[in-house]
Amino acid sequence: MSETTGRVLQLLGLLQARRVWSGEELAERLGVTTRSVRRDVDRLRELGYPVHASTGVGGGYRLGAGAALPPLLLDPDEAVAMAVCLRVAAGGSVAGVGESALRALSKLDQVMPARLRSQVAAVHQTTVTLGTPTETPVEPDVLMTLARASRDHEHVTAGYVDLHGNVTHRRVEPYQLVTTGRRWYLLCYDRDRSDWRSLRLDRMSDVRAHGTTFTPREAPDAASYVRRAISSSPYPYVARVRYSAPHDIVAQCFSTASVHIEPDGPDACILTAGADDPQRMVPWLALPGCDFEVLEPPEVVEAVRVVAERIARAARQSPTPPRTTSPTSGTPGR
């Protein structure tokens, strides 16, 4: 690194550390003249950093907000703090930012020195988070390995436990990570099965990127593919149910990651979802609290009848609750 480049980076670090610096203060810190400071400020502006200058009492140089986000300089403590926060967010504890946090964490981890990376791992391993919405947590190293391999089109191998508990070895081309807020999935092309697959990250083990690259194929939409795989593909019974309520009302009662809902006119919608047991599915289908009709399959139609009769019998056999006397009833006072 040249002396000028190093000094410009040092200047950027100073401007990020404090709101306003006078030219004389910066010159003293950098060991140069105020004229050199002005030239270095111009170099930062050419690189896209919005450095503003003002004169008079309280004036000086300050780093402003620009139209685009330029690179940031972090000291070691800041880098560790950011990486720890990104790991927590990538794990699903901050709704809606899991994938963005993972991308940022992958970039930061790629350039972080080993000693700082070990500090981040130590903090993460000794921290317990209460109330995280992630149902099945995934190791950050697995997330970052797959994120980088997806970005760089690297071949990946991993052990995998399928829906039936069978342990298999997968050789895949990773394309995109998808989070539902409860779980992480990988959209990938399985080289041995010659087909697309969505794999749950919590079921993967010994995940390795081998450095060899592949030519990207025309991939399906990751979100749609994973949603379809979650809602119907793994299940023996896939129900289609028509609700007498608008799409937005019914959608509030289900996770959009586990069902597919489409409007059927302005005041109705059709839900598609899968289950292992039709009868256990029925109370779940009744959650929206409105009239509904099971269109298919016959097993779920029959399950609704069986469960309805069971509930009716329970209602008939339950004792009638005693009538309570109103606090205001009785003989009025004289």
- pLDDT value of position 328: 54
Q: What is the pLDDT of residue 179?
A: 76
To 10 degrees, the CA torsion angle through 219, 222, 224, 228? 100
Show Cβ contacts of residue 275 under 8 Å, excluding neighbours closer than 6 positions: 235, 237, 239, 281, 284, 300
Q: For residue 36, what pLDDT is reported?
A: 94
Question: Rounded distance, CA 40 to CA 252, Å?
Answer: 55
Q: Find the angle CA(35)-CA(39)-CA(43) to the nearest 5 degrees.
A: 165
**What architecture does CATH give domain 3-63?**
Orthogonal Bundle (1.10)
Q: What is the CA radius of gyration of the chain?
A: 30
Domain boundaries, the chain: 3-63, 76-125, 155-226, 232-316
DSSP state of 90: I
Condensed to tens digits (0 to 9), the pLDDT of residues 60-79 reads 998 887 655 667 777 777 77
For 24-66, what is each residue's pLDDT tens digit?
Answer: 999 999 999 999 999 999 998 888 888 999 887 778 998 887 6
pLDDT band at 94 (very low <50, low <70, confident <90, very high): very low
How many CB atoms within 10 Å of residue 122?
12
Q: Is the domain 232-316 a CATH 3.30.70 member?
A: yes
Alpha helices, DSSP H, located in the chain:
3-17, 23-30, 34-46, 76-88, 98-111, 114-125, 140-152, 222-231, 247-251, 278-285, 298-317
How far, in whole angstroms, is CA 170 from its chain's centroid? 24
Average pLDDT along the chain:
82
pLDDT at 122: 67
**Residue type at position 312:** A
